[in-house]
Amino acid sequence: MGRTALAASLEQAHEQAHAHDAEPAPQAAPPGPPADPVAVAMELLSPQGRIDPYPLYATAHRIGPVAGIGGGWFVVAGYDAVNQVLRSTGYGVTGAQISQERRDEHAALALLAPSILESDPPRHTAMRSLIGSVFTPRRIAALEPMIRAAVDELLDGLAESGADGQPVDFMAEFAFRLPVTVICEMLGVPVTDRQRFRRLAAGLTTALEFMTDHSQLAPADAAAVELAAFFGDLIAERRDDSGDAPSDRSDLVGALTAARDADDGRLSEAELLANLTLLLVAGFETTTDLLGNGLQLLFDHPEAARRLRAAGGGQDDVAAFVDEVLRCESPVQVTSRVALAEGLELAGVPIPAGSRLILLIGAANRDPARFPDPDRFDPARPANKPLSFGVGAHVCLGNGLARLEAAVAFPRLLARFPRLAPAGTAPTRRDRVVLRGYETLPVRLTAPPA
Ligand code: HEM
């Protein structure tokens, strides 16, 4: 998916729509958010739109659940419409459409293209069942004691860094470290490499950004080369290990390498590398954002923090809180699909084959037709089913893991630091369209010294 194609198409549509703007307008346009879908899409890409897309989503809902923006592109904001596209076999992932030429030019595209996230059936179905067979709910549930220990160790570290009311960055010291520790454990990757992974994941995931301009893929390409070499070495080590104790196969690198080596067509070498890399990067940037977004929402809604503390980690309350964080501040705001079949229709709008759809997950989660008073943060919302993990064939493989990490982390964090508060320095956001989260979130664990 190239920004270049979309940006060019948007600019053209915008020019056509405003061709008569050169004539003096009888009256100045009323202030407020733009009301045409092309302008909304363009604003979403602007720096302000990236910081606060929610007024633009509200405008998109007023325009309608599905809107054509020219050049074969559609913006889909309605909950039912996004849900329908993600569940339908009439649409495919846009990554599968990336040309061989582009893959040859960019190591990041070449590395990720064979992964499940970027594949349609039949490869998607085969890989998903294989990876699903090792990434099981049972394996995830068995990680809970390890997650609890990792959380407590990180809280000890936070306590040390934030002693005497010193400000400490929750993102660097906790939100990033927990998911990377957990996914490294699952993959069987040395956690000592985690600082390097943070840099590499931040680099590589720019290739998953919806609006990535191919000319700006240099950091993603550099990260891809380093990650491919890293996993290549790890896979080779497993193969060289002639002793091959069963425990070597119990982590994901071991299990997937064994599946590849069975050589029964279930997984090619490129798919092995692509999926291991995807599991690493998909596994922590997003969960890091869930933890950061959740803490900021707790700061903004002290009554929710009080309720969570009073609940003392009651499973239902924590799960409801996590769902509402996911709904209000979805770590993944946007995904995309391409129409593969003829004769498709969405909310009454005909979708010709070959059309590209921008699916605004963040907007669907605030669709007033699905969620009454959608901008209100309310963990008690009944039947809260945000689309933050996607749905259908590509539904997030790690959703149980991400939920478990958050469900363990928040109650322990609140219990350990009853006076946890913002440090007074404003948090900074990462400048992304797809992944929504904080770069820094300074906090104080105790009152500052008098
Ligand atoms: C809060 C955390 C997370 C969020 C919000 C999230 C979100 C998503 C979304 C929206 C998709 C579907 C994309 C689409 O259909 O276009 C997805 C897919 C995926 N996620 Fe996650 N994710 C999270 C955590 C994780 C974790 C912890 C892992 C693994 C350890 C993971 C692994 C994957 C994989 C492998 C896919 C591709 C599935 C497929 O294509 O069949 N994710 N995720």
pLDDT digits (tens, 9 = 90+) for 430-449: 888 888 999 999 999 987 66
Q: Quick check: is 11 in a domain?
A: no
Where does the pLDDT of residue 6 fall: very low under 50, low under 70, confident under 90, or very high at 90 and above? low
Per the domain annotation, does 15 fall within a domain? no
* pLDDT average, residue stretch 258-285: 87
Q: Which of 33-47, 182-196, 366-380 ranks highest by mean pLDDT?
A: 366-380
Asked whether residue 113 carries a pLDDT value surpassing 60, the answer given is yes
Give the range with max mean pLDDT: 91-95, 96-100, 281-285, 320-324.
Answer: 320-324
Say if 19 falls within a structural domain: no
Nearest CA to 217 among 361, 116, 110, 353? Answer: 110
pLDDT of residue 28: 42
Q: In angstroms, how far apart are the furthest CA atoms of the chain?
A: 82
C-alpha to C-alpha distance for 377 and 321, rounded to whole angstroms = 9
d(CA 218, CA 345): 38
Q: In this structure, is residue 29 part of a structural domain?
A: no
Identify the residue with better confidence: 407 or 191: 407
Question: CB under 8 Å to 296, separation ≥6 — which residues?
Answer: 329, 427, 438, 441
What's the mean pLDDT in 372-395? 96
Tens of pLDDT, residues 316-374: 899 999 999 999 999 999 999 999 999 999 999 999 999 999 999 999 999 999 999 99
pLDDT score for 404: 96
The predicted structure's pLDDT at residue 52: 94
At 177 the pLDDT is 93
Task: Tell me how crowded residue 46 is: count the other CB atoms within 10 A of its CB.
Answer: 11
Q: Is residue 16 very low, low, confident or very high in pLDDT (cuts 50, 70, 90)?
A: low
- The response to whether residue 396 sits with its C-beta less than 6 Å from ligand 1 reads yes
| Cβ contacts of 421 within 8 Å, gap of 6 or more | 299, 443, 444
Supply the pLDDT for residue 75.
Answer: 96
State the average pLDDT over residues 98-108: 88
Position 14 in a domain: no
Q: How far apart are CA 222 and CA 234, in angstroms?
A: 19
d(CA 223, CA 229): 10
Contact (CB, 8 A) for 129 and 264 = no
Q: How many CB atoms lie within 10 A of CB 24?
A: 5
DSSP letter assigned to residue 93: E
Domain that holds residue 193: 34-444
Alpha-carbon distance of 99 to 214, in angstroms, equals 12
Pocket test for ligand 1, best of 83, 135, 399 (most atoms within 8 A of CB): 399
| Cα separation, 79 vs 73, whole angstroms | 18
Residue 157 within a domain: yes
Instruction: Give the three-class secondary structure for 213.
Output: coil
221: exposed, middle or buried (C-beta count within 10 Å: 0-12, 13-18, 19+)?
A: buried
pLDDT band at 247 (very low <50, low <70, confident <90, very high): very low
Sequence-distant (6+) residues with CB within 8 A of 238 are 244, 248, 253, 254, 257
pLDDT at 32: 55
Q: Residue 431 and residue 97: Cα distance in Å, rounded?
A: 26
Nearest CA to ligand 1 atom 11: 396
Q: Tell me, what's the pLDDT at 276?
A: 93
Q: State which ligand 1 atom lies nearest to the alpha carbon of 117.
A: 40
Tokens of 160: 């040390």
Distance CA 281, CA 302 (A): 32
Measured from the Cα of 131, ligand 1's closest atom is 35
Q: What is the mean predicted confidence (pLDDT) over 413-421?
A: 95
Non-local CB neighbours of 255 within 8 Å, separated by 6+ positions: 134, 249
Q: How confident is the model at residue 261 (pLDDT cuts 50, 70, 90)?
A: confident
Taking the centre of ligand 1 as the mean of its atom positions, its distance from the CA of residue 86, in whole angstroms, is 13
Distance between CA atoms of residues 386 and 39, nearest Å: 26
Alpha-carbon gap, residue 295 to 190, rounded angstroms: 28
What confidence score (pLDDT) does residue 133 get?
Answer: 86
Helix (H, G, I), strand (E, B) or coil at 69: strand
- By CB neighbour count within 10 A (0-12 exposed, 13-18 middle, 19+ buried), where does 347 fall? middle
Q: Residue 328 C-alpha to ligand 1 middle, in angstroms?
A: 18
Contact 180, 284 (CB under 8 A): yes
Average pLDDT over residues 154-171: 94
pLDDT recorded at residue 377: 97
As a whole number, mean pLDDT of residues 7-22 equals 53
What's the confidence (pLDDT) of residue 23?
A: 42
Q: Which two tokens stand for residue 285?
A: 């940037």
Q: Is the CB of 281 under 6 A from ligand 1?
A: no
Residue with tokens 């809902």: 61
> Tell me, what CATH number does 177's domain have?
1.10.630.10
Q: Which of 390, 445, 363, 439 is nearest to 54 (CA)?
A: 363
Give residue 13's pLDDT band: very low, low, confident or very high (50, 70, 90).
Answer: low
Indicate the length of the chain as a whole number: 450
**The ligand 1 atom nearest the CA atom of 284:** 27
Q: What residue type is assigned to position 5 of the chain?
A: A
Mean pLDDT for 379-387 is: 95
Quickly state the pLDDT bin for 174 (edges 50, 70, 90): very high
Each residue's pLDDT tens digit, 287-325: 999 999 999 999 999 999 999 988 766 788 999 999 999
Q: What is the mean pLDDT of residues 244-273?
A: 79
Omega of the bond prior to 442 within 30 degrees of 0, cis? Answer: no
For the Cβ of 92 lying below 6 angstroms from any atom of ligand 1, the answer is no
Confidence of residue 35 (pLDDT cuts 50, 70, 90): confident
Residue recorded with tokens 């070959």: 354
Q: ∠ CA(43), CA(71), CA(42), 5° rounding? A: 5
- Nearest-5° Cα angle at 291, 285 to 294: 135
In a domain, 180, yes or no: yes
Q: Is 290 in the pocket of ligand 1 (CB under 6 A)?
A: yes
Q: In this model, does residue 26 exceed pLDDT 50?
A: no
How many A from CA of 445 to the centre of ligand 1? 31
pLDDT at position 450, please? 65
Q: Which of 210, 359, 337, 209 is nearest to 281 (CA)?
A: 209
Span from the CA of 112 to the centroid of ligand 1 (angstroms): 14
In whole numbers, what is the pLDDT of the chain averaged over residues?
Answer: 88
Which residue's alpha carbon is at the smallest distance from atom 3 of ligand 1? Answer: 286
The tokens of 321 are what? 């809180």
Residue 20 belongs to a domain? no
Structure confidence by residue, pLDDT tens digits, 195-245: 788 888 888 888 877 655 677 888 899 999 999 999 999 899 888 775 554
Structural domain total, the chain: 1
